[in-house]
Structure 1
Amino acid sequence: MGKTIEPTPLITVITPTHNRRETVLRAVESVLSQSMSRLEHIVVDDGSTDGTESALARIQDPRLIYVGAKWRGANAARNAGIERARAPLVTFLDSDDIYMPHRLERTLTWFEENPVLQVLISSFVSLKGSRITNCVNPEAFVSPAMLERTLVGQTIFIAGSAITARREALLAIGGYDSDITRMQDRELLLRLARRFGAQLSRDLDWTKYNSENSISGRRDGYVEAYANLMGKHPHIAHAYPHIPPYMISRQLIADILRGRIPEAFQGYMANRSSKTLGYSLPELMQG
C-alpha cells in the first residue's frame, strides 16, 4: 500500500471485512490482477484482530487502500468506502468472494456503452462445499417497477458482489441502510429501483463462496429479515399483496419439511408481530 499518486481510477471496488485475513487476501489478489488496471480497491476493516492490517500492508500496490476503524458493521463500512471512492463507478466485493479476471473490464464496458445506465447486476458462480451452481440472470434492462417486483419476489439472482452503480446514484439514496444486517443488498436495490431500474447481465464474472458462518448462507431468521425488509418498505405489502405471504409460507413449509419446527414457529411469530405483515395461518395458506 504505497504513497504514489495514481491516475484517477475508472472504478472503485469496496470490500468490508472483519477477521477474515486469509479470504480477504484472496479477494484483493483477484482485484489487483484484473485485466484492466485503472482501479482502486478500498478495504474497510471493521475492527479486525487477526492481523488483517499487517497482512494487507505487505501488498505494495498504490491501488489498494486500507481503511481501518470501527465502523459498526459491514453496511457502515461499505458507506465509508463509498464516501472515499474517487471513481465515478462503485462496485463491491465481499471479503470471502473473488472476481474473475475480466470482471471489471466487462463492467466498465456496460457503462461506457450505456451512458445513462445507473445500476448493473451481474451473474455469478456459487460454491458451497462440493456443489457448484451457476446463478445466471437473463440479459435485460429491468424498469423500476419490474425491478421492485423481482426483488420482492426474489426471482433474480442478487448478492452484494454482483452490484455496480454510479457513485452519485448511491450517494443520492444514502448508501446502505446501517440498520439492516440481512437482505441489505436487496434493500439497497429496492431504493435504487425507485429511481433507476437496472441492467441485468448474463456474465458469470465472480465467484461466491458460501461459508458455514456467512450471513447469506443462513436460513434461520429468514422471516425476521424479510419482515424487517418489508417494514422498511411498507408500500410493498399493499402493492403486491400476494407475494409477501407466499414468501413467508414457502420458508415456513421448508423449515417444517426439514424438521426445523422451532425455527418455523419462530418465523411464524416474527411474521405475526410485524406491523407490516402480521399474516394469520389462513392468510399464509392462501399465499
Structure 2
Amino acid sequence: MFSILIPLFNKKQFVCRALDAVFGQHFKDFEVIVVDDGSTDGGGNLVEGQYGKMVKLIRQENKGVSQARNKGIQEARYPYIAFLDADDYWHPNYLSFLSRVIEENPEVGIIGCHYDPIQLENEPKLSYFRLENYFKDAVYNTRFFTSATCIKKEFFEIQPGFDPDLRLGEDIDVWLRASLYFGDGIYIQNTLVYYSQEDSSGATGKSYSLDQTLIPKLLGQKYFSDSIGASTCTMETFIKFQSKWVYLNLFPHFVRNHIIIKEVLSRIPRKYFFIHTFYALPSSWMKVFFSKKKLSSLFRNYIKFCFRYIYTS
C-alpha cells in the first residue's frame, strides 16, 4: 500500500532510529526506499549492513534532497508515497491510521498529520478532519510537513515532483500543487510524528537567495492553471492566497535580497495598501529594520493583524 521514502545525507546517527520506527509499524503493507544522496559519513553503508534486503537502497552522487526524493518516487511500487526524513520518526500507529483514513476516504490524495519535536501520543485514538477551504487557511499554516505527509503516487505521474531549483519551500510547493490537483486533503489530529530539531545542518533557518525560494515560483502566472484539478479553489481565492502568503514570507529575505524585493513586490497580484506601503519604503531603511529580530517579529504580527481585522475577505 505504501512506499516509504527516506532521503539520506549525512544523518548516520539518526537513520537507524527512523528505520526502526518504520519496521515497528503495526501496519505491514509497505516497502522502504532509502536514497543515499552522496553521504560522506557512511550512512548508506550502515543501512545496507544493518537492514540488507529489507530496504531498497539507492545510491547517487549528491544532488540535493529534491532529486533524492524524485528518484525514490520513480522507484516506488505502491500507490501511496509516505515521506520520512532520516532524522525524524513515526509512532507505531502512523501507517495504520493512514490506511484507515484512506479506507474511509478513498478519494483523498494528500494526508497530513500532527507532529511535535518533544513527544508523541501514548494511546492515540484516530481523529481527523477534512481541510475544507484549504487555501483560505494555508496563508498562516500550510499544515503539511514532510515526515508527516502521504500523497497518492498518481500526482507525481501527472505533475512535476520536487523542484530541484528550490532550496527553501520545495516541500510546500508540492503540498500546494497536490492540494490544487486533488482538492482538499485530510489532516490527522493525533501527534504521531516526531520532528527532530537535533540536526543543525538542516535547511530551516539558513539564508538563501530569493530565487532559490518558493516565492518567485508561486507568483508565476501559470502556477494555478498548471496545477488545478479536482480542487474547488477558484482563481480569485488562489490570488488572495498567493498575495497574502508572499507578504507574510517575504520580509525574512529582505536583508540579503533587498535589491530584487521591489521586483517581487511588483508581481504580487493583489496589493494590500497598509502592508504594501510599508514594504515600499526606501530599501536602505527596510534593510536595517528587518535586520532586527524584534522588529521583524513585530512586522509579522502587524501583517497578521491586517489580514485578520482589515483585509478579511
Specify the TM-score bucket, using the shorter chain as the normaliser.
0.7 to 0.9
Distance 1:30 1:270 in 2: 44
Structure (1 or 2) with the greater helix fraction: 2
Return the letter of the residue paired with 1:212. Answer: S
Unaligned residue ranges in structure 1 (runs of 5+)? 1-9, 253-262
Distance 1:245 1:175 in 2: 22
Percent of aligned positions that are identical: 19
- Normalization by structure 1: what TM-score? 0.77
Q: Which among 118, 134, 144 is matched to residue 147 of structure 1?
A: 134
Distance 1:82 1:242, change over 3 A: closer
Distance 1:228 1:16, change over 3 A: farther
Distance 1:283 1:206, change over 3 A: same
Asked whether the 8 Å contact 2:91–2:120 carries over to 1, the reply is: no
Distance 1:231 1:71 in 2: 29
Q: Secondary structure at the match of 1:110?
A: helix
Task: Identify the residue that residue 148 of structure 2 maps to in structure 1.
Answer: 162
- The answer to whether 1:272 aligns with 2:262 is yes
Structure (1 or 2) with the greater strand fraction: 1
Return the letter of the residue paired with 1:95. Answer: A
Task: Identify the residue that residue 213 of structure 1 maps to in structure 2.
Answer: 201
Q: Secondary structure at the match of 1:175?
A: coil
Return the letter of the residue paired with 2:141. Answer: T
Q: 1:277 Cα deviation (Å)?
A: 4.3
Distance 1:238 1:206, change over 3 A: closer
Task: Identify the residue that residue 4 of structure 1 maps to in structure 2.
Answer: none
Asked whether the 8 Å contact 1:227–1:271 carries over to 2, the reply is: no
Q: Which among 100, 105, 126 is matched to residue 109 of structure 1?
A: 100
Q: Residue by residue, what CA displacement relative to the aligned partner does 1:215-272 show, whole Å, maximum 9, x if unpaired? A: 12x16349662523434566688444751464047x45xxxxxxxxxx6432544422
Q: 1:30 Cα deviation (Å)?
A: 1.2
Distance 1:19 1:241 in 2: 35
- The answer to whether 1:87 aligns with 2:78 is yes
- The answer to whether 1:203 aligns with 2:184 is no
- Normalization by structure 2: what TM-score? 0.71
Asked whether the 8 Å contact 1:227–1:277 carries over to 2, the reply is: no
Return the letter of the residue paired with 1:228. Answer: P
Task: Identify the residue that residue 230 of structure 1 maps to in structure 2.
Answer: 218
Q: 1:100 Cα deviation (Å)?
A: 1.3
User: Within 5 Å, which residues of 2 pair with 1:239-258?
Assistant: 239-240=240-241, 243-244=244-245, 246-248=247-249, 251-252=251-252
Q: Which among 277, 282, 285 is matched to residue 277 of structure 2?
A: 282
Q: Secondary structure at the match of 1:117?
A: coil
Distance 2:41 2:153 in 1: 31
Task: Identify the residue that residue 176 of structure 1 maps to in structure 2.
Answer: 162
Distance 2:242 2:219 in 1: 14
Asked whether the 8 Å contact 2:120–2:193 carries over to 1, the reply is: no
Q: Secondary structure at the match of 2:20?
A: helix
Unaligned residue ranges in structure 2 (runs of 5+)? 122-126, 225-234, 281-301, 304-313
Distance 1:16 1:245, change over 3 A: closer
Distance 2:195 2:109 in 1: 23
Task: Identify the residue that residue 22 of structure 1 maps to in structure 2.
Answer: 13
Return the letter of the residue paired with 2:189. Answer: R
Q: Secondary structure at the match of 1:148?
A: helix
